């Protein structure tokens, strides 16, 4: 049986034609603005000043390119992100292998300026461009038995040198409970600072879940599966006592080896010191209700 | 080997101190001129700590190297004191730049975080070594007691490497190398004494 794609919804000649019109229009407009992504502002954006593009693109945890913070910027240039397709499978009405253009087609792009808190107790402010994950999930049709969403990163050791050693069981895996995945704060991001996503930040498409530690926001996604059981997640597989499935930012629940009570803001300067970490990374009003009745020290 | 030894005998100690301050100069220059990346605080803290660890490993390599005939013992004090300098500055960087003088948070960390406890233990083990690093101290204590006290360097290196391991999320080649080197340098000390000195023994000032 042939898998359905978005081209079954919109005939290929039609969207090819649309692309040509858009491309032609863009070429006709100013060349320097070519890469700019059109994105609407969002009520979910913080008013805090974003980190510089330099900070955001030179200080990354993306172990597919090495464990050093500078490794992704140094090595991610070799990653080929076009063509790119995402397999969407599991408990969905329209499973298939979707071209990236199909995935993002008609999704309303917004700029979401989010706080980003790493489990290592540093933080940044990042102006992501993306769309709500719920928009995509609604289009593929989530079946009633689905309880969780599982994500996988690309495995391509020849372009991702970190994957040439097996300190992590590749692919990198992450997951969300369905209600977390459907929350309007949860986005699939395809760019930042108005430009397409830099490779070291998870090109061409990555998850951003701003109230959870950064490692939940999986990069360079090639697979999204709707499943009925809690999926395996990479850091939890590596060190279950230290990294839970939920990984919500929580100043009151320490990492077993270090405190999560405060954080250092990248780019704040040598003598800036620390700031208090906020419950759910400052998104408590929006997401606390998702965890009503749960003991967050147990479900860390 | 003899030529290296002869060369080492002619090399003044101040050259070692001067070279040993080069990493610090780089770090300070980076702090003022940039070039330490997006997170200069972590870079400063990390580089100070790792340099301290490297000098401590170097000082611990002196005795094993002597057993295979390479005599660099004249430089051991310089290496040890350089290590102490870097470890002390690493501690200052943690207290001031990293923790931002949040004394209460540091006190909690000191009570319950093994990596902080181990780091502090390593530093504490180095204090009496630095304090008794002078010739006068060796004379006052007597060489045997002095040598016994200075076995605290073993505590310091084990605490230091464990400290590094605990604050890293995964095993990296770098961390495995530090661990392997530290264990190797300690293990060779367990070899029987007669394995010592294939070359005729010479008398050196300690």
Q: Would you say B109 and A259 are in contact if contact means Cβ atoms under 8 Å apart?
A: yes
A264 shares its domain with A145: yes
Closest to A247 measured CA to CA, from A276, A275, A207? A207
Backbone angles phi, psi at A194, to 5 degrees: 75, 0
Residue A119 sits in a domain whose CATH number is 3.90.420.10
| Least Cα separation, residue A253 to chain B (angstroms) | 14
Q: B172 CB near a chain A CB, below 8 Å?
A: yes
Give the pLDDT confidence of B62-72 residue by residue, as tens digits: 999 998 999 99
Cβ-Cβ contacts under 8 Å, A264 against chain B:
39, 41-42, 98, 100
In this prediction, residue B204 carries a pLDDT of: 56
Give the tokens for residue A71. Answer: 């490794």
Cβ-Cβ contacts under 8 Å, B167 against chain A:
257-258
A151 shares its domain with A210: yes
Looking at the domain assignment, is residue A66 inside a domain?
yes
A119 shares its domain with A12: no
A66 shares its domain with A171: yes
DSSP A68-126: STTHHHHHGGG---SS-EEEEEESBSS-EEEEHHHHHTT---EEEEEEEE-TTSEEEEE
The number of beta carbons lying within 10 Å of the beta carbon of residue A240 is 11
Q: A59 CB near a chain B CB, below 8 Å?
A: yes
Q: Would you say A260 and A254 are in contact if contact means Cβ atoms under 8 Å apart?
A: yes
In this prediction, residue A52 carries a pLDDT of: 97
Q: Would you say A172 and A166 are in contact if contact means Cβ atoms under 8 Å apart?
A: no
- The interface predicted TM-score of the complex, written ipTM, equals 0.80
Give the C-alpha separation, B67 to B63, whole Å.
7
Looking at the domain assignment, is residue A121 inside a domain?
yes
| Cβ pair A258:B40 closer than 8 A | no
Burial classification of residue A196, based on how many CB atoms lie within 10 Å of its CB (0-12 exposed, 13-18 middle, 19 or more buried): middle
A28 shares its domain with A156: no
β-sheet bridge partners, residue A85: A99
Looking at the domain assignment, is residue A48 inside a domain?
yes
Give the C-alpha separation, A175 to A233, whole Å.
6
Domain extents in chain B: 2-195
Q: Would you say B123 and B129 are in contact if contact means Cβ atoms under 8 Å apart?
A: no
Q: A84 CB near a chain B CB, below 8 Å?
A: no
Helix B76-92 vs helix B40-67: crossing angle, to nearest 10: 160
A85 shares its domain with A14: no
| Least Cα separation, residue A219 to chain B (angstroms) | 19
Helix B22-33 vs helix B76-92: crossing angle, to nearest 10: 20
In this prediction, residue A27 carries a pLDDT of: 44
Q: Would you say A118 and A108 are in contact if contact means Cβ atoms under 8 Å apart?
A: no
Q: Which residues of chain B have pLDDT under 50?
A: none
Looking at the domain assignment, is residue A296 inside a domain?
no
Give the C-alpha separation, A290 to A299, whole Å.
12
Give the C-alpha separation, B188 to B206, whole Å.
20
In this prediction, residue A5 carries a pLDDT of: 53
Give the C-alpha distances (Å, rounded to integers) separating A166 from A67, A153, A175, A227.
12, 15, 21, 26
Total tally of structural domains belonging to chain A: 2
A176 shares its domain with A202: yes
Contacts of B93 (CB under 8 A, 6+ apart): B41, B44, B45, B48
A17 shares its domain with A132: no
Q: Which residues of chain A have pLDDT under 70?
A: 1-35
pTM given for the model: 0.84
Burial classification of residue A17, based on how many CB atoms lie within 10 Å of its CB (0-12 exposed, 13-18 middle, 19 or more buried): exposed
| Cβ pair B31:A270 closer than 8 A | yes
Looking at the domain assignment, is residue A142 inside a domain?
yes
Give the C-alpha separation, B151 to B142, whole Å.
15
In this prediction, residue A66 carries a pLDDT of: 95
Domain residues for the domain of A164 are: 37-291
Q: A274 CB near a chain B CB, below 8 Å?
A: yes
In this prediction, residue B202 carries a pLDDT of: 54
């Amino acid at each position: 049986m042939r898998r359905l794609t978005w081209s079954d919804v919109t005939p290929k000649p039609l969207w090819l034609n649309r692309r040509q019109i858009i491309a032609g229009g863009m070429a006709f407009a100013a060349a320097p603005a070519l890469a700019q992504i059109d994105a609407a502002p969002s009520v979910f954006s913080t008013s805090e000043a974003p980190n510089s593009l330099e900070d955001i693109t030179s200080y990354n945890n993306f172990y597919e390119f090495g464990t050093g913070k500078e490794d992704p910027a140094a090595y991610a240039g070799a990653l080929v992100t076009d063509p790119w397709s995402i397999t969407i499978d599991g408990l969905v009405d329209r499973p298939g292998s979707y071209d990236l253009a199909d995935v993002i087609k008609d999704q309303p792009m917004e700029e979401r300026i989010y706080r980003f808190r790493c489990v290592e107790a540093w933080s940044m402010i990042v102006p992501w461009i993306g769309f709500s994950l719920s928009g995509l999930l609604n289009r593929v049709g989530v079946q009633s038995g689905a309880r969780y969403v599982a994500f996988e990163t690309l495995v391509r050791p020849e372009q991702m040198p970190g994957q040439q050693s097996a300190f992590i069981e590749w692919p990198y895996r992450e997951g969300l409970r369905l209600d977390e995945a459907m929350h309007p704060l949860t986005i699939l991001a395809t760019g930042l600072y108005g430009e397409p996503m830099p490779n070291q930040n998870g090109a061409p498409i990555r998850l951003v879940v701003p109230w959870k530690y950064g490692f939940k926001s999986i990069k360079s996604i090639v697979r999204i599966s709707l499943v009925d059981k809690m999926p395996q997640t990479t850091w939890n597989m590596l060190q279950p006592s230290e990294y839970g499935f939920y990984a919500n930012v929580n100043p009151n629940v320490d990492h077993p080896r270090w405190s999560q009570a405060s954080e250092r803001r990248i780019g704040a300067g040598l003598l800036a010191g620390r700031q208090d970490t906020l419950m759910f990374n400052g998104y408590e009003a929006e997401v606390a209700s998702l965890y009503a009745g749960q003991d967050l020290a147990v479900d860390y | 080997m003899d030529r290296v030894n002869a060369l080492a005998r002619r090399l003044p100690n101040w050259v070692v101190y001067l070279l040993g301050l080069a990493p610090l100069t780089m770090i300070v220059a980076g702090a003022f001129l940039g070039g330490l990346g997006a997170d200069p605080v972590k870079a400063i803290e990390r580089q100070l700590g790792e340099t301290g660890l490297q000098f401590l490993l170097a000082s611990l390599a002196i005795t094993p190297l002597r057993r295979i005939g390479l005599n660099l013992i004249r430089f051991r004090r310089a290496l040890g004191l350089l290590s102490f300098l870097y470890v002390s500055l690493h501690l200052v960087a943690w207290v001031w730049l990293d923790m931002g003088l949040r004394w209460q948070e540091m006190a909690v960390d000191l009570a319950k975080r093994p990596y902080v406890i181990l780091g502090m233990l390593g530093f504490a083990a180095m204090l009496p070594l630095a304090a008794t690093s002078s010739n006068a101290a060796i004379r006052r204590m007597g060489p045997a007691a002095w040598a016994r006290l200075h076995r605290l360097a073993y505590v310091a290196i084990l605490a230091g490497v464990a400290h590094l391991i605990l604050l890293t999320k995964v095993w990296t080649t770098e961390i495995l190398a530090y661990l392997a080197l530290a264990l190797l340098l300690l293990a060779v000390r367990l070899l029987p004494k007669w394995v010592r000195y294939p070359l005729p023994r010479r008398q050196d000032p300690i």
